[in-house]
Structure 1
């Protein structure tokens, strides 16, 4: 255990010698943060710093990412890891928060085991709109250039011309510092998962949900800033299906909105979490 500057205890655990989880802060509901593809739990550091004085913050490294071991390169295994972290927390009031691929992982985790989840926050997620075969064909074509080239291109498309080059370089180097065969298998499995479960997992949601969005994303894996007044297929689909739903669009922020606008993102999460406390 270590202590942060504000004297809070930071607890690191390795669940089953495989899944790395870090917890800091007290209070409920607990906030369980899930990172995106070829990323890790440190993406949430700025938000944890801002929120851990009010809520218990739990971050998890998905299998094959960060300090977690590589298990099966599947969405099912990623969802199971989130549920292990949720169970280890001991809380029966958990808000699951996912970024990018993590928005799908938290829905897969909820599909496997909804117990204890009182809310869900999707940070700059996406919903494919193409037919299944087109999605699979696009995914296989995308990785046919090799995983290093694919990841370099993928992360480059997450940033615009005004983004700091050092940030893109850091995140790209981190993405490449892993088993690239694992990354390829997980990417393809995630696209297959999307073709089967993306809408089903939204239809199954019975807890309040929030989308925090900054960009749009298409079936060719390209991002662009969300223009003022515009929406996304994910937002509109969830708005039409989920009874208790809201969306917040963060202007002038990129795909890593929690890096670009940490104060706005943290306070949006805190407002949602406080409402869940009042509902309990």
Structure 2
């Protein structure tokens, strides 16, 4: 649950920063990755085990996710962005799990079906929200594929802290490709910088360590389904902190998602 709260926090912090401050999406992504790498470099020691201090495949997926995520949230609302993101994450991880030969039971199928039904009910409840343009939706879908791949690669981890540290350091290096855009668009904004730093060091760096520590114990279908709780958490946070309205569909959709997640953990 801590990881899911962190994921929802990323959506809220990014949308808040891009809507209410002067920071641009390229700068947000760079600061997020660099601050996450810096925090993890200070707090986590390399494990010294070959292949467990990060890798370029995971780093590329992490960078692609962070960059696409930031640019998509220029137009998308926090809740809708989370809905699109984790819907695609769900599809990506389930397909990867099936290709890899994960055993799927009846309770897994029932849980996935219930969670997906809840996802679409929640999506319908957000019908009046800002869905942005097609380009923003495509970017968020791309972020979902990248995050799904990153999560799948994390299932091989036995040293979650060191692996996340190494991945963030590599992704921060890759973020240098965004610097020309940063130079063109950068506007010094203390609040925007603070929100991007919090997203990197707290809800990303710390949250991803927690996520990588549990994914090796989950089947792909479980790891993907549990992430469908994030749009629900984001919607609730939007009600509490962004004064969005609560509707019956949100409650019903949320219950379906939570019930579906519970079913995927039955053996």
TM-score normalised by the chain length of structure 1: 0.26
More strand by share: 1
TM-score normalised by the chain length of structure 2: 0.26
